[in-house]
Amino acid sequence: MVRLPTVLGMRRKIAYPLVALGMTIGSSLAVASPALAHGYVSTPPSRQALCASGAVADCGQIQFEPQSVEAPKGRQSCDGGVSTWSVLSDESRNWPAKSVGTSVNFTWVMTARHRTADWTYYVGGTKVASISGGNAQPDAVVSHTIDLSKFPGKHTVLAVWNIGDTANAFYSCVDLNIGGGSASSSPTTAPTTSAPATTAPTAAPTTSAPGAAPTTTAPPAAAGSAWAAGVSYKTGDVVTYQGVRYQCRQSHSSINSWEPSIYTLALWLPL
Amino acid sequence: MKRRVVLSLLVPLALGACGTAATPAPTATVSANAVAEIQAGSQFNDTDVMFLQMLAYHQKQGLEMTATAASRSKNPQLKTLAEAVQATEKDELSMMQAWLTQWGKPTTADTAASLHADHGGLPATGPAEIKALKTVSAATFDTAFLNLFLAHQHNAIEMAHLETADGSNPEAKAFADRVRESRQGEVQQMLKLMNS
């Protein structure tokens, strides 16, 4: 508890990392740099979640920091009026609408737990619900069940996290086909007819393709082929990478930086 | 501060052999030795130290969460992801602890992250939430885990940004790049899993 501050105290130029990692005393932290912010709707998938999952391609920087749509309170746009995130307001992207019941469970993922004034939900500029945060720190994961029965059909829900101790809010737009699925509000029992998008990074987003394969199934590996990202490797599979053959020792779905190397010996051993 | 560790490369590693002990394989000893061979040299600054200390603490939490997922989830894809994260992060943790030890620094930031819980900037995942994963109902486990671990890995990416911006050690900075890339890939898989 005391060790880290002691270590850090030896240095002069410590303001930035200390603030960013929350090691300072006081609430100045709440205005940390945008790259370190702060929260978004993960389920049903918000537009930034669709960008981060690759379901909607070519979103730009938002795919790397879906939690960063921070702007002054009172905005009514998916990008919060911030030009960096304007892709989120681009209706020509054909954002896939998730089929849901009329009672919808929204889940927020918070990476910085700011004191919260409230979470407010809008449809077409109309306030649908507002849940007080009591100016307290929220948990890392916060869920709200919202009655959307007055808005059947396709709608874009604007979900806003209003911070308690700054002038800012975080914005997430969630495209829904309300009443288009089961009445369940639980994300774990989402209607099986809803498959928001394809996995191919270059594919255009599709809208509610009934019966489409789950997006999480990576293709199986071909024996001895070149290593690639996005492939489902099983223990025992053999790949070639930079002229060397490797055997998989831990099943995984491959991602960038998990290619065979001295850093990934937990996944691959040279043959 | 930096001069003191000039001889660090000659110091035998206390932690090097632990890295892959839990993942038996015919050539496990080769792996363990090789992980210990990843050296960071003797030049570093306080951001390098803080990055490794914070991430080491963070990763111990992650290992606890993924162990719970590996045993509790009924979704094969989620289990595989949890096990792969376990395997890779165990080795990363050994590597970070070895570097910190060579630098003559404590290997964790202890509970410094929780100390400032009232000030808005603590890492997303606290001990209570991690513990709650063990008792949440089976029906809601996958969703609970995925969202909590999503927040957790976003935090790792945020730590990596700090190292990239203010760190000085080339190996630590290269490690930050790998943290960013791998966690980004994991975030992608988790968002797909929870919304498929």
**Span B88-123, pLDDT tens digits:** 999 999 999 999 999 999 987 655 544 444 333 445
> B35, A36: Cβ pair inside 8 Å?
no
Q: What is the mean pLDDT of residues A266-271?
A: 94
Does the CB of B41 have a partner CB in chain A at under 8 Å? no
Cβ–Cβ of A140/B35 closer than 8 Å? no
C-alpha atoms less than 13 angstroms from C-alpha of B77 in its C-beta half-sphere: 20
B25 in A contact zone (CB under 8 Å): yes
Q: Which of A17, A113, A114 sits opposite B162 (nearest CB)?
A: A17
Distance from CA of B43 to the nearest CA of A (A): 15
Helix, strand, coil share of chain B (percent; to 5) = 70, 0, 30
Mean pLDDT of A212-230: 70
Cα(A25)–Cα(A210) distance, rounded to whole angstroms? 52
Between CA B100 and CA B56 the distance in angstroms is: 10
Among candidates B19, B105, B120 on the partner chain, residue whose Cβ is nearest the Cβ of A137: B120
Q: How confident is the model at residue A222 (pLDDT cuts 50, 70, 90)?
A: low
Distance between B153 CA and the closest CA of chain A, angstroms: 9
- State pLDDT tens for residues A8-31: 333 333 333 333 343 333 333 333
Residue B150: phi, psi to the nearest 5?
Answer: -60, -50
Q: Is the pLDDT of residue B166 over 90?
A: yes
Count Cβ atoms below 10 Å from residue B74 Cβ, excluding itself: 10
Q: Is the peptide bond before A44 cis (omega within 30 degrees of 0)?
A: yes
Reply yes or no on whether the pLDDT at A142 is more than 90: yes
As a residue count, chain A comes to 271
Q: In the numeric block, which tokens belong to residue B51?
A: 């990055």
Question: By CA distance, what is B153's nearest residue in A?
Answer: A111
Which position has the higher pLDDT, B158 or A205?
B158
Closest alpha carbon to A97 in A155, A24, A148, A27: A155
Higher pLDDT, A150 or B6: A150
Cβ–Cβ gap B116/A257 under 8 Å: no
Instruction: Write phi, then psi, for B147 (nearest 5 degrees).
Output: -70, -40
> Which of A182-191, A192-201, B1-10, B141-150 is predicted with the least confidence, judged by mean pLDDT?
B1-10
Non-local (6+) Cβ contacts of B7 within 8 A are: none
Query: Is the Cβ of B48 closer than 8 Å to some Cβ of chain A?
Result: no
Mean pLDDT of the residues in chain A: 79
pLDDT of residue B110: 55
Q: Which residues in A lie closer than 8 A to residue B162 (C-beta atoms)? A: 16-17, 20-21
Kindly give the interhelix angle for B170-195 and B138-166, rounded to the nearest 10 degrees: 150
Evaluate if residue B27 carries a pLDDT over 50. no
CA distance B84 to chain A (A): 6
* Element at A108 (helix H, strand E): strand A103-110
Query: Hey, is B40 helix, strand or coil?
Result: coil
- B-chain CB neighbours of A25 within 8 Å are 116, 119
Tell me which residue in B77, B121, B151 faces A21 most closely, judged by beta carbons.
Answer: B121
Please count the other Cβ atoms lying within 10 Å of the Cβ belonging to residue A220.
11
Closest CA to A181 of A199, A208, A214: A208
CA-nearest of A158, A163, A113, A116 to A139 is: A113
Q: Indicate if the pLDDT at residue B180 is higher than 50.
A: yes
Q: How far apart are CA A119 and CA A131, in angstroms?
A: 5
In Å, how far is B126's CA from the nearest CA of chain A?
8
What pLDDT sits at residue B111? 52
Among A187-196, A222-231, B16-25, the range of highest mean pLDDT: A222-231
Cβ-based neighbours of A137, under 8 Å, separated by 6 or more: A113, A114, A115, A116, B117, B118, B120
- Residue B128's pLDDT is 86
What pLDDT is stored for residue A137 in this prediction?
87
Interface contact B137, partner A, CB < 8 A: no
- Residue A172: how many CA atoms within 13 Å on its side-chain side? 31
The shortest CB-CB distance from A8 to any of B34, B50, B185 is to B50
Q: What H or E segment, with its residue span, contains residue A17?
A: helix A15-20
User: Is B124 near chain A, with CB under 8 Å?
Assistant: yes
As beta bridge partners, residue A159 has A121, A172
* Chain B residues 165-194 with a CB less than 8 Å from chain A: 165-166, 175, 177-178, 181-182, 184-189, 191-194
How does residue B125 score in pLDDT terms, banded at 50, 70 and 90? Answer: confident
Average pLDDT over residues A60-78: 95
How close B140 gets to chain A, by Cα (Å)? 7
Residue of A23, A139, A265 with shortest CB distance to B31: A265
Please indicate if any CB of chain A lies within 8 Å of the CB of B17.
no
- The stretch A243-270 carries a mean pLDDT of 95
Q: Which residue did the predictor score with more confidence, B169 or B32?
A: B169
Mutate to test the interface with B, among A10, A64, A141, A238 (most CBs of B within 10 A): A141
Nearest CB among B88, B115, B147 relative to A266 is that of B88
Predicted local distance difference test score (pLDDT) of residue A224: 78
Interchain contact B46–A (C-beta under 8 A): yes
Instruction: Give B34 to chain A, closest Cα distance, Å.
Output: 7
Q: State which residue of chain B sits closest to A211, comparing Cα positions.
A: B196
- Cα separation, B143 vs B73, whole angstroms: 10
